[in-house]
Structure 1
Amino acid sequence: MAQWLRENRSHAWRYPPSGKLAIINALAPKVSQSPVCTPIDRLAESRQLVIVIGACLMFAAMTAWLVFLLMLLKSFIWNLYQAVLVTILTEAELTEQEDGRDN
């Protein structure tokens, strides 16, 4: 972090490659050791952690919802299959009964 600060001291605000938000001024080597920089680094790290955790939770929720929808679809298709099967069997039995009465 300190090396990145030294290389980019001309910019007021920049995101370093690690993603941490850093305050950069002309005293770059001393900034990374200042008492102000440490809480800012911790805050930036915690925000990143919150974002990653939030993204993981949203991904888990979306995946669970997709699985739930697939189970609903499976149930719907199974119910249609059962309804058609019962209708076909009932019709076949009624036809057999009518044929039995005619004989």
Structure 2
Amino acid sequence: DSDSDSDTDGDGDGDGDGDGDGDGDGDGDGDGDGDGDGDADQCTDDLDCVPAQCCHPDACVPAAEAPECNGIFCTDECRQGTMDCGAGHCGCEQGACVVVAGLGGVR
């Protein structure tokens, strides 16, 4: 190639994928996850996501950001607007941890 880096793709960034952004995934957005949307993904699978709160969760986060729930006791009520009582579960959609309506897979 005619650029000054050590790879053979000709884009000058040295990662070898030819898109010029330097992250090596080939999609051109620079975030390193390969999906082309420009944000770094939180997840790739539903199992990567967990409830954001210990009790009556209404949001999901990546497992690495899971709250510490040891010793926490929750009420047995089914609160509206939460994932209580099978109303929802955590899932991964387009790289983001989100609440999905209904029962999910058993973990």
Range class of TM-score, shorter chain: under 0.3
Q: Which has the higher helix share?
A: 1
TM-score, normalization: structure 1? Answer: 0.21
TM-score, normalization: structure 2? Answer: 0.20
Q: Which has the higher strand share?
A: 2
- The structure whose Rg is larger is 1
Greater relative contact order: 1 or 2 (C-alpha under 8 angstroms, separation 6 or more)? 2
